[in-house]
A and B are shown apart, each in its own frame.
Chain A
Amino acid sequence: MYLNQFLLLSAALFAIGVYGVLARRNGVLVLMSIELILNAVNINLVSFAAFRDSISGEVFALFVIAVAAAEVGVGLAMILLLYRNRRNIDLTEIDLMKG
């Protein structure tokens, strides 16, 4: 069982996702970076489940997938709302409130 390779892949995906969230300015790309982190979680869960021979990891991964779908639905709705009101989804320009 090659657990390490899977964990390294997932850690790399996680790191790319975190970088994307912090560095990207476009709202949709930030959402996609968050999806990368969630997929890193899923790879972790499934490979640990196979390694440990325990079904709960796969069940957890299914829950993560289902909830992530709901989350992205809300997120896209919100970005659409922002686009309707501002004609722009650049996150650095959302700065009405500060302090």
Chain B
Amino acid sequence: MTTQLLTLAFERPAIDWHAVAPELTLLAVGCLITLIDIIFLEKARPYTATLAGLGVLATAIPIITLAMDGVDRVLFDGAYVVDDFALFTKAIFLISGYVIILLSTNYVAEGDYWENEYYGLLLASLMGMVMMSSSRDLISIFVALELLSIPAYLMVAWRKRDARSNEAGLKYYLMGVFASAVMLYGMSLLFGVSGSTQLSEISSFLTNGNVSSVSAITLAIVFVVAGFAFKVSAAPFHTWAPDVYEGAPTPVAAFLSVASKAAGFVALLQLIYVGFHNQSAVYEPLIWILAAASMTFGNLVALKQTNIVRMMAYSGVAQTGFILAPLAVAGHAGLEDQALSAILTYLAIYAAMNLGAFAVIITLSRKTGSAEIESFNGAFRYAPAMTVSMAFFLFSLAGIPPLGGWFAKFEVFSVLASSDDVWGYALAVIAAINSVIALYYYASVARCMWADEAPENDLTPVSTTSSLVSALAICAIVTLAFGVVPQIVGRFADVTLLTLGG
């Protein structure tokens, strides 16, 4: 046996280079940045951000060619799949990644910290996300999850001489590693029950096989969903979010609240849709509780926050509840595709409006040097454009038409309303009540900025930079376009995952 194994020549499985081109591009640019850093040292500093941004844009090219090609590509016996769902979510990750590089440019350069490593880590984390979109196997989901998380732990602790940043990094690390360990235990049970790591085979086993170990399957699904509930910061697994967002560099907080959260949702969608879709008796109640708790708890605690970054963290928890809501009825016959496209639509619009709000916070903090809501009082007197855009993004987050957030919420409600069962309707009522609560704290931030007096009547204008303004412009255009012409995002988000479920 041993000799036979040794003499057996290793045969590389066929690789479709076009399908993995986005990942390879990100990897190449990440390595290039590291190399340039080693060779040119300090001289390379001013160009790294531009190079990273160009790298992310270059990654979009293979995604566009793959989308125009339109063929679903299956690699490694189905462990890695490039389909419409994967391409759409990859595009969300790359565009948010580009905006985050724009937001980071001045923040990192002026902070007297290492720059090249920052962008190297950011690209590595983005690569993990891009991999996550295609992973249809427990092993590749796990590797993608760790590839996107480990650089994120380091980025949170980036300001290494700052006690708050250390604290945030350690908290995020310990809770993140704990959550992924628990999730792995669930995955090992899932493998044990079904005998395969591939989601489509797990699904066909759960559908056809004579399943005797119901309790093991239930335990496995609960552990796996709990692990990703941490990643998307759903209550009661959200406790890390406010502290980490407050302590981390603000662009990193934006990254975690948008890209990292979207990656968690992508993994959840793949697991639930491809892996255990017919186990709706297990995951539907679980997601229902997570969604209802996140919305209610996130909103109620956001009401009493005085720090705007913490408020955005709790508002992110509440938004997570909204994004999870369609998943709570995703097992109902005939609702699968509608729920999937509602979640993807919400993710795309949420990315635009939340990044926009963070862009304004970063710009205004350049003047105020603080993230307390009070320090933004009277911003309208010295930064009218910023105040108008902040109000714009906040009202979009609250779901006021004709902004993007309104369409996202509308899609969620229409899925819940067509669920035709009491639990779906109940969740819709909870969501409706929460939309009203959310409006209060979003509007009160806007009111402080418009109506109150600036602290010490300091009316010197804020210093904007071209990268911050372009980030803001991208987010504003996308938010407005998705609200006024929702067909654009609706058309792209109209994808399916079930066909692969087997």
- B153, A99: Cβ atoms closer than 8 Å: no
At the interface, is chain B mostly helix, strand, loop or mixed? helix
- Range class of the B interface residue count: 35 or more
With A34-B178, A63-B139, A99-B310 as given contacts, are A86 and B163 in contact (CB-CB < 8 Å)? Answer: yes
How far, in angstroms, from A84 to B157 measured CA to CA in the complex? Answer: 14
**Which residues in window 224-280 of B have CB below 8 A to A?**
242-243, 246-247
B163 neighbours in A (Cβ, 8 Å): 85-86, 96
CB distance from A29 to the nearest CB of B (A): 11
A59 CB–B CB distance under 8 Å = yes
B189-197, B412-420, B463-471 - the one binding chain A: B189-197
- Smallest CB gap from B151: residue in A: A74
Chain A positions 26 through 68: 1 when the CB is less than 8 Å from some CB of chain B, otherwise 0: 0100110010011011001100110110101101100110010
A75 neighbours in B (Cβ, 8 Å): 173-174, 177
CB distance from B308 to the nearest CB of A (A): 13
- A56, B170: Cβ atoms closer than 8 Å: no
How far, in angstroms, from A17 to B180 measured CA to CA in the complex? Answer: 13
B170's partner among A34, A59, A78 (CB-CB below 8 A) is A78
- B196, A40: Cβ atoms closer than 8 Å: no
CB distance from B177 to the nearest CB of A (A): 5
B196 neighbours in A (Cβ, 8 Å): 54, 56
Q: Which of A18, A27, A60 has the most CB of B within 10 A?
A: A60
CB distance from A12 to the nearest CB of B (A): 13
A-B contact count, CB below 8 Å? 119
- Smallest CB gap from B79: residue in A: A56
With A56-B139, A57-B191 as given contacts, are A41 and B185 in contact (CB-CB < 8 Å)? Answer: yes
B332 CB–A CB distance under 8 Å = no
How far, in angstroms, from A67 to B164 measured CA to CA in the complex? Answer: 27
B368 CB–A CB distance under 8 Å = no
How far, in angstroms, from A44 to B335 measured CA to CA in the complex? Answer: 36
**Which residues in window 162-214 of B have CB below 8 A to A?**
163-164, 166-171, 173-174, 177-178, 181-182, 184-185, 187-189, 191-192, 195-197
**Which residues in window 133-166 of B have CB below 8 A to A?**
138-139, 142-143, 146, 150, 153-154, 157, 160-161, 163-164, 166
With A41-B188, A52-B195, A64-B142 as given contacts, are A94 and B171 in contact (CB-CB < 8 Å)? Answer: yes
A30 neighbours in B (Cβ, 8 Å): 174
CB distance from A87 to the nearest CB of B (A): 12
- B305, A99: Cβ atoms closer than 8 Å: yes
- A82, B166: Cβ atoms closer than 8 Å: yes
Chain B positions 1 through 32: 1 when the CB is less than 8 Å from some CB of chain A, otherwise 0: 00000000000000000000000000000000
- B243, A97: Cβ atoms closer than 8 Å: yes
A37 neighbours in B (Cβ, 8 Å): 178, 181-182, 184-185
Apart from A34-B181, A81-B169, A86-B163: 17 A-B pairs, beta carbons within 8 A:
A38-B181, A40-B185, A41-B184, A41-B188, A48-B192, A48-B195, A52-B192, A56-B139, A67-B142, A78-B153, A81-B160, A85-B163, A96-B164, A96-B247, A97-B242, A97-B247, A99-B305
Nearest 10 interchain pairs by C-beta: A48-B192, A44-B188, A37-B181, A52-B195, A97-B243, A41-B184, A56-B197, A67-B146, A45-B188, A41-B188
Q: Identify the A interface with B (CB < 8 A).
A: 7, 14, 17-18, 21, 27, 30-31, 34, 37-38, 40-41, 44-45, 48-49, 51-52, 54, 56-57, 59-60, 63-64, 67, 70-71, 74-75, 78-79, 81-82, 85-86, 91, 94, 96-99
23 contacts between A and B (CB under 8 A): A18-B182, A27-B170, A27-B174, A31-B174, A37-B181, A37-B182, A44-B189, A48-B191, A49-B191, A51-B192, A57-B191, A60-B191, A64-B142, A67-B142, A67-B143, A70-B146, A71-B146, A74-B150, A78-B153, A78-B173, A85-B161, A97-B242, A97-B243
